[in-house]
Amino acid sequence: MAFFELRQYRTKPGQRENWVKYMEETVIPFQISKGMVIIGNFVGEEEEDLYVWIRRFESEEEREQLYQAVYDSEQWKNEIADRVGELIDRTQINVTRLEATPKSVLQ
């Protein structure tokens, strides 16, 4: 059964614009190239440091395979991970797994 990850991050002070640019130009295209399905990404209207994005997985097995393809890759380890740590507070990452209700537009 398909499920979603709702991922909430907090950017470091003054870094939200840089983070959004990095996500949209580097992180998301890289993850899509590895097979990730990104449903959307958002910033907080009232919270200047809030960044939210949603990924979709067909199964736990697929999630595990995609995590390995992304996070164990040399490109992630050597080129992307350090910059992520410069822009967001990794201690504030909040990941919620969600299942769509039967009448949800997103399935």
Q: Which CATH class is domain 3-93?
A: alpha beta
Q: Are 51 and 94 in contact (CB under 8 A)?
A: no
Residue 97 tokens read as 């797994």
Kindly report the pTM of this predicted structure.
0.94
Q: How confident is the model at residue 91 (pLDDT cuts 50, 70, 90)?
A: very high
Residue spans per domain, the chain: 3-93
Q: Are 88 and 9 in contact (CB under 8 A)?
A: yes
What pLDDT, on the 0 to 100 scale, is given for residue 40?
Answer: 97
Tens digit of each residue's pLDDT (9 = 90 or more) over 28-87:
999 999 999 999 999 999 999 999 999 999 999 999 999 999 999 999 999 999 999 999
Residue 1 pLDDT > 90: no
